Amino acid sequence: MGAGGYLGVDRSLTGRAWRERAIDQRTALALCQRLGVPEIMGRILAARGVSPEAGDGVLDPKLRALMPDPSVLRDMDAAAARLSAAILAGETVGVICDYDVDGVSSAALLLRFLEHAGVRALAHVPDRMTEGYGPSRKGVESLAGQGAALIVTLDCGANAVEALAHAAALGLDTVVVDHHLEGAHRPPALALVNPNRRDDVSGLGHLCAAGVTWMLLAATTRELRRRGFWRERAEPDLLAALDLVALATVCDVAPLCGLNRAFVQQGLKVMGKRANPGVAALADVARLKRAPDTHALGFMLGPRLNAAGRIGHALTALRLLATADRGEASKLAHELEELNRSRQQIELRVLETAAAEAERIIEHDGARGLVMVAGENWHPGVLGLVAGRLAERHHMPAFALGFATGAAQAAGSGRSVPGVDIGRAVHAAAEAGLLVKGGGHPMAAGLTVERARLPELRAFLSERLTAGTAAVAAARPLDIDGAMTAAGATPPLIEMIERAGPYGAGNPAPVFAFPAHRVVYADLAGSEHIRLTLENEAGARLKAIAFRALNTPLGEALLAERGRPVHVAGRLAIDTWNGGRSTQLMVDDAAEVPG
């Protein structure tokens, strides 16, 4: 350990250099003076690019101020007009969505809206095992056979050229609501509402599909108002639906900036009121005892919803989010809880094999910008999770692909690290003819490839990703917002810091260093985590937890360093367990104290 990093840490227990997060001191001071906040808040805001003029809007984001006219999105007016026409004519509307949280949240938003408008709606969620991602001929024919005149695709459809051409041949209109990158050919839809289509200039490419869906509902509500539809019935309360938008935004790892940040902050308030029976029941089975936050959405509620699409059927998750019946919601939430437990067991089995294969490949061939593993009979529902774990472990993009026994094709998922766009790389591979199909966005992708072309695909992606991966690896420090002691980490301070949240992708949570604190207690919590207590020189103590640290250098050191001073870095939160209210540190890293 040299002396170049923050507190002299240039190589921590996770292999990172610590550095003070760069800020403009004058901006930080101006923020303190303008907002009347302590120095640490000025530093936090300045480090995240907040100007003094924008400070009020960050600490108290108003959706009204940040919400653009939905018409800025290409094809939005055409989509709202067609959906309004269907409602006015009493047509049956078919809905096709993806099987992840963003997809089923988007579908629940639309289904609840259509129910409020008195319209018959049919939902088709593709089966991951038999249909794969997105609209299919089977799905289109099923909805047409049940009387749908209009099909709306949500969180899918941007590349469904063949399926939507089939819908057109059957006489169906289609509206696509998506946020994934376009392929070479645009599907023949009446409207394609996608902030990431090549000719969209709205600047809203950071929205997830649920955010775009909510804007479609706002535009449709306005259009129906213009046509007099709401004269005899109450307009829907779209603000009350922001809990689903917040859930999808966090679980889809959309950047928490601009409109997304307002969506999530307002959505968390809505969720705290427990008005949606499905979300409330899900929180209960997840044993969420505190006010919902981004961590709860991403790591407690999201995995349970995703479990349905991974090893069951995502229709269960959609029914949960769309139901108004609390009894049905409780039943469905418990079904998801059981599916999630099964998913965890399957994931661990596949991860063990995949991790060993990844280590073998890296040792033999080197990583070359990505990790790609493939195995026989790996459950397709957990491959995205496995890829995510490998990306986290090796700090680079990772792909996990599965073959059925004797199959000629492999299908699977990729997950990336911040700063490396795998969606574009997968699209390039598809356009180069290397894939049967594939698509995604910067942090996640799905693909299908012929078994014989797997080495060629690995080489192609390696060429595309190596430079970006190397750049990210070279700049992988841990940014520290400031130093603190156990005595200074108080609930009132944390409450003030949380005003600059919610934190997540695009708005990183503040990280604080606790210099030379002794580990006075450390023990296993659950199957992967380590719970500990830190103490400063004056005897003030701070509870802490290191998630998924077992059997890592960080975890081993924390367990072994009892009684010895260590530098610890992490994020602060308020722990309300059993009705209490205390400070807890989420440990990100630690380093030995020299001497």
Q: How confident is the model at residue 4 (pLDDT cuts 50, 70, 90)?
A: low
246 within 8 A of 268, measured Cβ to Cβ: yes
- The C-alpha atoms of residue 395 and residue 296 are separated, in whole angstroms, by 24
Query: In a 3-state reduction of DSSP, which class is residue 147?
Result: coil
Residue type, 542: L
Q: How confident is the model at residue 103 (pLDDT cuts 50, 70, 90)?
A: very high
pLDDT of 2 reads 40
- Find all residues with CB under 8 Å of 219, minimum gap 6, and list them: 70, 71, 76, 77, 79, 80
pLDDT of 440 reads 85
Percent of the chain at pLDDT > 90 equals 72
- The C-alpha atoms of residue 38 and residue 331 are separated, in whole angstroms, by 48
Q: Could you give phi then psi for residue 520, rounded to 5 degrees?
A: -95, -10
Reported as a single tens digit per residue, the pLDDT across 320-365 is 999 999 999 999 999 999 999 999 999 999 999 999 999 998 888 7
- The C-alpha atoms of residue 258 and residue 12 are separated, in whole angstroms, by 33
Output 353-359 pairs: Cβ under 8 A, ≥24 positions apart: 353/378, 354/378, 354/386, 354/390, 354/400, 355/389, 355/390, 355/393, 358/390, 358/393, 358/394, 358/398
Query: In a 3-state reduction of DSSP, which class is residue 102?
Result: helix
pLDDT of 501 reads 85
Buried b (16+ CB within 10 A) or exposed e, 513-550: bbbebbbeebeeeeeebbbbbbbbeeeebbbbbbbbbb
Residue type, 360: R
pLDDT of 577 reads 65
